A and B are shown apart, each in its own frame.
Chain A
Amino acid sequence: MDTSNKRLIQRLMSRIPIKMLRTTLGKWGRLTEVQLKSMNLTQSKWALTEKLIAICEENELEVKHLTELEMIYIIDNPNQGMWHTFQLMDPEDDAQSVELTQFKEQFKSHIRELVRQVSVKMKKHTDEAVWIRIAWGDAFSRPNHLKPTYVVHHLQTPYVFVTSLTAKQKPLLSQALVLSTRHQAIKDANLSGRKLTAIRDLMMRQYQQVFPTKYPSPLTEHNPTVSNPHIGREQAEPAANRLQMACEAFGGGMLPQLQSAVYKLETKFRDQTNKTMTEREEPFKCVVKFASTNLLESLRNCASSGIASTPVTPLLSSIPLKGRNYFVITDNGPGPSSKTDQPQN
């Protein structure tokens, strides 16, 4: 076994936590029952790594087997690294009929046309998603398995989620994806986050959405109603309204765990108390970043508690509505209300 394979195993072992090791190796299925039992999990990571290297040598396992193990682990634990979202545009007539085998073949052949040295591995996950692992090389070097790009695509949807993609590789991947899914273009959807599941749910609207209604919704009833007859909430109704509006903007119940949203503001400074700045022609340039363990829940709480005025500004409600978390805001025409956001590219 060569050093690059050894390093791949070392790298893998350092990423997989001990308590997940047995199940992951079991799923992999390349170790015999006896070999699996011989992995003593009370040993140190280092010792276990040496043991695994020995077993791999004994079983004559190659790179493709090792990458399989990596994919099994990544698919089970996708919430690592930064995931970026791309959106496929202008589908061809036959885009809806692309099925898995066809996509696999097409994608592999297209990407090999573009890059000679590339190693592609695909796997269909139970939730209909196709996982693609790409190890890139170039004219002078063999595919680097230590820095693979992962792509997740749900067939028949326009969304593609990508992690660890360099600027150089981006056009190559884009072209291969566009051709193999029978679309005409692909664009950056301006949504990124550490949790793949969260950005997927946000993109595909897989969370509880709340719609305006003139009938009292169950939400208002959930509101902490007065338990004691001697305590009266004077502003129970406005509070319920705020909660309703907050939920309409950001969704109800558990929300996808998005960590941050960034706004690049290039708008005029307007403040009646400051004439000098208001008369200034140039925009006031600033960047605002919102961050939280669950951004959407934080923002919903801001609106329901009154820290953010309701109705929620379109700027903030655009995050779930448009499924984006990067915005560039510029003035568009005179009035202060006619702000529009434009994608960065």
Chain B
Amino acid sequence: MPPGADTPEMERHQNSVTRTPLNSVVVQRRSKSKSYRLSYRSCLGATSRLCFTPALTARRLNTSRRAPKSHNITEKVNPEKLALLVKTEWQLSYVSPLYQFRHTQLKSYSRQLSAFIAAEKQQGLAVEVEGPQKTFRVSFSLVQGMAESDDDAETVLIQIHSKPLFARQDEPQRPVWSGWLTCINGNPDYLRSLPKDFICLPLFGSSGAEALTTLVKSWFQQFFDCCFGPLEISHTCLQWLMALWTNCHTESSIQHLKMIWTLPVVPPLQVTYTVNSEDAWELWSSVRKEKEKENKAGEMAKDEEENSIDIEEVTGFMQGLKSHFYRHFRLDLSAGSLDQVSTALGSAKYKGRIKISNSRYMITTLTLLTECALLKMPI
């Protein structure tokens, strides 16, 4: 167990600020980025009294985003690397900007993290020194071509290989843990406001033993003076994913649209609502059409807007699904919480777990998640 591994992430961050060699940089950053003066969480802290709401800057998810286009990502990104990213369920975290992280030094990071894990493991195994030494081989690699805009830093993939405890000598090492750090379509204002030495890769996904995740995180915290925090996928974000995935149906079948709700009764009631893909798509396109009509009436329709999806359409879609449910069961799903959504293109859980099953729409999903992660940035 690394020292202080169970202290909350935020506390750790505060500690790390004091340890920062360039304390002035932090202060400077604060004043530099105008629209990021207060994070959402600190605004809650400020309002927990009688709510003399100060004029704080609220930051919210986008209310409109471009319809997902099928990216032929395989042309840009090495398919082998891509295969490692899809079809795995990742536990998401947000990461504050990394101090002095260099994409050119991945080889030396691999060595250092291996050594770090070995050292930490030995600490924990003080009693059974004679046991077969379990060695971990870490490899950092670049996933080139994932970045969408010029401001995005390139995605980094981390893999840890190890031999099973009672393996034969000649048995090859197997991957036991993998993770990645990415930034897709990050807000250029925010990214440009960072001082030169900071690299922003706000989205961290991990899959594998919890203990290794903790070790990797603490290594990053120590080496790049950053902090990690859990990234939940909120109700709105889950609704967005539902709509974005359903919108792809004509190009790539979603097969089904599944939602899992939990209703707060005793004992808790779980409702799994699975909609036929064709019907889900027709409902979605009917909601889209309604909006187009409105737009045309108001002569608002521009070429750009036609390809964008608004939050009103997303909530309208959800409303349609809920009202169909209510008509049969006279049970209001609004009273409960949406825990999980899934289609053949991927699945997302409120607890911050995501699985992307089709690489063609990976960029859209990661863009949304990057946005969520950036909202969590402590400033």
Instruction: Give the interface of A toward B (CB within 8 A).
Output: 263, 265, 267, 269-271, 273-274, 276-277, 280, 282, 284-295, 297-299, 301-302, 305, 307-309, 312-313, 315-316, 329, 336, 339
The answer to whether B272 and A289 touch across the interface, beta carbons within 8 angstroms, is: yes
A251 CB, nearest partner CB in chain B, Å: 16
Of the listed stretches B33-41, B98-106, B320-328, name the one at the interface; the rest are far from the partner chain. B320-328
6 A-B pairs with the lowest CB-CB distances in the bound complex, closest first: A276-B286, A285-B276, A301-B265, A298-B269, A289-B272, A309-B330
Contacts of B286 in A (CB 8 A): 274, 276-277
A267 to B327, CA, bound (A): 11
Contacts of B44 in A (CB 8 A): none
A267 to B276, CA, bound (A): 12
Contacts of B331 in A (CB 8 A): 302, 307-309, 316
Q: In chain B, residues 285-306, which have Cβ atoms closer than 8 Å to a Cβ of chain A?
A: 286-287, 289-290
The answer to whether B273 and A286 touch across the interface, beta carbons within 8 angstroms, is: yes
B321 CB, nearest partner CB in chain A, Å: 9
Instruction: Give the interface of B toward A (CB within 8 A).
Output: 263, 265-276, 278-279, 282-283, 286-287, 289-290, 319-320, 323-325, 327-332, 335-336
B216 CB, nearest partner CB in chain A, Å: 36
A235 CB, nearest partner CB in chain B, Å: 17
The answer to whether A284 and B283 touch across the interface, beta carbons within 8 angstroms, is: yes
The answer to whether B325 and A277 touch across the interface, beta carbons within 8 angstroms, is: no
Contacts of A277 in B (CB 8 A): 282-283, 286, 320
The answer to whether A292 and B268 touch across the interface, beta carbons within 8 angstroms, is: yes
Contacts of B283 in A (CB 8 A): 269, 274, 277, 284
A185 to B278, CA, bound (A): 39
Contacts of A273 in B (CB 8 A): 319, 323
The answer to whether B263 and A285 touch across the interface, beta carbons within 8 angstroms, is: no
Contacts of A307 in B (CB 8 A): 263, 265, 331-332, 335-336
Contacts of A308 in B (CB 8 A): 329-332
The answer to whether B276 and A288 touch across the interface, beta carbons within 8 angstroms, is: no
The answer to whether B269 and A285 touch across the interface, beta carbons within 8 angstroms, is: no
A150 CB, nearest partner CB in chain B, Å: 28
The chain B residue with its CB closest to the CB of A266 is B276
Q: A287-B273, A309-B332 are in contact. List 14 more A-B contacts (CB 8 A).
A: A269-B320, A271-B323, A274-B283, A276-B290, A286-B276, A288-B274, A288-B328, A292-B270, A301-B269, A307-B265, A307-B331, A309-B331, A316-B330, A339-B328
Beyond A274-B320, A288-B273, A291-B272, is A302–B327 a contact (Cβ under 8 Å)?
Answer: no
The answer to whether A298 and B267 touch across the interface, beta carbons within 8 angstroms, is: yes
B309 CB, nearest partner CB in chain A, Å: 17
The answer to whether B320 and A285 touch across the interface, beta carbons within 8 angstroms, is: no
A339 to B329, CA, bound (A): 12
The answer to whether A290 and B270 touch across the interface, beta carbons within 8 angstroms, is: yes
The answer to whether A293 and B267 touch across the interface, beta carbons within 8 angstroms, is: yes
Contacts of B282 in A (CB 8 A): 277, 280
The answer to whether B267 and A336 touch across the interface, beta carbons within 8 angstroms, is: no
Q: Jot down 18 A-B pairs with beta carbons below 8 A, ordered by A.
A: A285-B275, A286-B273, A287-B272, A289-B272, A291-B269, A294-B267, A297-B266, A298-B263, A298-B266, A298-B267, A299-B269, A301-B265, A301-B269, A302-B265, A307-B335, A308-B332, A313-B329, A316-B330
The answer to whether B329 and A288 touch across the interface, beta carbons within 8 angstroms, is: yes
Beyond A288-B271, A289-B272, A329-B328, is A274–B265 a contact (Cβ under 8 Å)?
Answer: no
The chain B residue with its CB closest to the CB of A267 is B328
Contacts of B327 in A (CB 8 A): 270-271, 336
The answer to whether B324 and A269 touch across the interface, beta carbons within 8 angstroms, is: yes
Contacts of A287 in B (CB 8 A): 272-274
A312 to B267, CA, bound (A): 18
